[in-house]
Amino acid sequence: MQFAFTEDQLLFRDTVRDLLANECKPEAVRAAWLNPTGRVPGLWDKLVDMGVAALTAPEAAGGMGMNEVDLVLLQEEAGRAALPEVLIEHTAVALPLLAELGESAWLAKAAAGEVIVGVGVGSPYVLYADQADVLLLVHEDEVHAVPAADVTLTAQRSVDYSRRLFSVAWTPSDATLLAKGPAAQQAVVDACDRGALAAAAQCVGIAQTLIEVTVDYVGQREQFGKVVGSYQAVKHHIANALIATEFARPLAYVAAYAVANSTPHRGRDVSLAKAAASDAVDKAARMALQCHGAIGYTFEYDLHLWMKRGWALAASWGDASFHRDRIGRSLGI
């Protein structure tokens, strides 16, 4: 048995990396902060054309019929680029949730790129709710698909301005009900696991970029007549962040396999990945800020685009403390 990504999976990753390198440069992400949508104009359409947006939808619904192992590499690339899009909520969470609940109408439209599906599970706030055509919302033991026209949104503040968060007021009805009872509750747990996995992968990608940007900076910046990166304390600081990131990455890959194959301990594997990735991106962000010195604190410098995205994702879908508690409960401690 070979525990490695296939050539096709790596090629797809490289294709997405090239697209984001051209279309999601730091200046594009910065512009998204000022854009009313918080997104890069036209980029989602290109991801739809590539099949990325519908990657997790079944082939019968017009999707790619792929799974979390295929998606985890793409989420990592999204993190590397600080992609301000709904790749977690729409692709990683909503499409599998619709498929699991047997909802076909919205699923087919979402797979075709005709609609964006927002997700209100795992958090009181919904990301990009103002851009969604339909919202998947939870009420007690029920899951509902609520058209955007039937909700009232209230904007909330986010540390990352490109992550537009909203609280949602709505009224459950038989017309919007998708499922209820134990099946619906299990589907919500599965959805939260997929969200946490995707967020973990993006955290790893963000941490990697923060490390690379910092290595480049300290290799050029001179202080006291020497390159800053030549000081042992700086090297150790960066090395610690790299070690944390390198430990988190394979945990994300293991969790992707566990979710894709519905292994018995997939929830614990997801929590291991999310806890490690949240810690890694926090460590990388703090390291990058300290190694950059005063310029790292400025709004005009790009560093904060990754730092703030990393901190936001580290807290999303359960922070490190939440997932460590979950790991402990799964082990009976």
Residue 320 falls inside a structural domain? yes
* pTM of the predicted protein model: 0.96
The per-residue pLDDT for 229 is 81
Percentage, residues of the chain above pLDDT 90? 87
Residue 249 falls inside a structural domain? yes
72-to-61, 78, 184, 193, 231 alpha-carbon distances in Å:
21, 10, 25, 13, 36
Lowest-confidence range among 72-81, 296-305, 318-327? Answer: 296-305
Residue 297 falls inside a structural domain? yes
123-to-89, 136, 166, 195 alpha-carbon distances in Å:
12, 12, 11, 11
Residue 138 falls inside a structural domain? no
Residue 237 falls inside a structural domain? yes
Mean predicted confidence (pLDDT) in 255-264: 97
Residue 83 falls inside a structural domain? no
Name the pLDDT band for 35 (thresholds 50, 70, 90).
Answer: confident
Domain count, the chain: 1
User: Max Cα separation, the chain?
Assistant: 72
Name the pLDDT band for 328 (thresholds 50, 70, 90).
Answer: very high
The per-residue pLDDT for 222 is 78
Which residues touch 108 (CB under 8 Å, ≥6 apart)? Answer: 61, 62
The per-residue pLDDT for 2 is 63
Residue 53 falls inside a structural domain? no
Residue 129 falls inside a structural domain? no
75-to-88, 104, 199, 270, 333 alpha-carbon distances in Å:
8, 25, 8, 15, 32
Name the pLDDT band for 1 (thresholds 50, 70, 90).
Answer: very low
Q: How far apart are CA 115 and CA 134, in angstroms?
A: 8
Q: How far apart are CA 234 and CA 227, in angstroms?
A: 11
* CATH number reported for the structural domain that contains residue 229 in this entry: 1.20.140.10
Count CB atoms within 10 A of the CB of residue 319: 16
Name the pLDDT band for 3 (thresholds 50, 70, 90).
Answer: confident
Mean predicted confidence (pLDDT) in 150-169: 94
Mean predicted confidence (pLDDT) in 226-255: 94
Residues of the domain holding 221: 185-330
pLDDT in tens, 199-215: 999 999 999 999 999 99
Across the chain, what does the average pLDDT equal?
A: 95
The per-residue pLDDT for 132 is 95
